[in-house]
């Protein structure tokens, strides 16, 4: 089979799956599947636009109360108002995932007003490359926002997760570009790949070390010979860290008692038409948000530490 034929077949498969998911989205949850209510609190970071806005809208449309957060208070408030005008239970609070004071203020407000949360969707992220660009000019900001920002939120909000038989849910918005063993975009250092793949010996320090090693090479100007992913390198490294941290946290959280379970997964929304892709994607924000909402609301949630795309598990 030639390259063109393979590409066409892959396109056909993707289109068929899109149609299947569109159909699945029209099927309402039955009463016995709905473990949530208006008392269920979801927090969505970076919820003011794109995928984050859509995740917020869809969760609220299912009857969840959603706290939309944004670094910029004006755009965040405006986004929440749009959804409130549509009759949805959406409220806004300013949050900068890299600022300890902002995170503490948000956590205090959340406890005081809602007693905690049930669902956390880590969506806040940045990317400065488009098309064939591969600049690392903003590598530090990309890695800090996408990886350390996600980690900050998980660490701050785990203690605030409400206890329930359904369990708390954490969904990390990630990317296939951060796959450990992707065919076209993987880390070439086999030793580092093995370290990041081995959940038995994996630690936060190993993940942080990989990210910091990349950033140090960027600073020194040697990153191109460091064996890092070739496409959107800084973004790919940040999402590789998110994926790996998801697996690590799943293992750590698995020891919690039955009514205090927290399930954590990550997913790739696909190449979505949003500001982050310069609106060059091939699917809508509505489609891109679907798997996040599906994971957050899974009725039989014993799934944790997995990576998904289009409602299917994919390999790390």
Catalytic-residue membership of 245: no
205 to 98, 195, 241, 245: CA distances (angstroms):
19, 11, 11, 10
Task: Give the C-alpha distances (Å, rounded to integers) separating 95 from 45, 99, 306.
Answer: 8, 8, 27
Question: Of 58, 135, 48, 128, which is closest to residue 89 (Cα–Cα)?
Answer: 58
User: d(Cα 95, Cα 46) in Å, to the nearest integer?
Assistant: 9
Find the catalytic residue in 114, 147, 235, 263.
235
User: CA dihedral in degrees (72, 74, 75, 78; nearest 10)?
Assistant: 150
Place of tokens 């959406």: 90
Catalytic residues: 235
């Amino acid at each position: 089979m030639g390259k063109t034929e393979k590409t066409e077949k892959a396109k056909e498969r993707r289109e068929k799956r899109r149609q299947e998911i569109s159909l699945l989205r029209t099927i309402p949850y039955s009463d016995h599947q709905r473990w949530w209510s208006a008392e269920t609190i979801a927090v969505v970071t970076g919820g003011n636009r794109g995928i984050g806005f859509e995740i917020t809208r869809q969760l609220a449309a299912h009857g969840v109360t959603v706290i939309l957060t944004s670094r910029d208070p004006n755009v965040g408030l405006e986004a929440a108002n749009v959804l409130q005008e549509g009759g949805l239970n959406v409220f806004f609070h300013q949050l900068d995932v890299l600022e300890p004071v902002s995170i503490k203020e948000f956590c205090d407000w959340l406890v005081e007003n809602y007693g905690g949360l049930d669902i956390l969707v880590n969506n806040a992220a940045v990317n400065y490359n488009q098309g064939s660009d591969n600049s690392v000019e903003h590598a530090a900001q990309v890695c800090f926002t996408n990886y350390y920002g996600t980690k900050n939120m998980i660490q701050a909000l785990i203690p605030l997760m409400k206890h329930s038989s359904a369990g708390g849910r954490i969904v990390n918005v990630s990317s296939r570009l951060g796959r450990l063993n992707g065919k076209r975009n993987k880390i070439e250092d086999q030793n580092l790949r093995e370290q990041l793949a081995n959940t038995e010996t994996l630690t936060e320090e190993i993940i942080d070390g990989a990210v910091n090693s990349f950033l140090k090479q960027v600073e020194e100007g040697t990153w191109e010979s460091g064996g890092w992913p070739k496409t959107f390198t800084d973004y790919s490294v940040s999402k590789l860290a998110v994926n790996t941290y998801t697996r690590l946290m799943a293992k750590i959280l698995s020891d919690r008692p039955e009514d205090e379970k927290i399930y954590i997964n990550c997913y790739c929304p696909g190449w979505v038409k949003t500001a982050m892709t310069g609106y060059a994607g091939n699917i809508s924000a509505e489609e891109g948000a679907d798997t996040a909402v599906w994971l957050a609301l899974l009725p039989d949630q014993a799934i944790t530490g997995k990576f998904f795309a289009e409602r299917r598990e994919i390999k790390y």
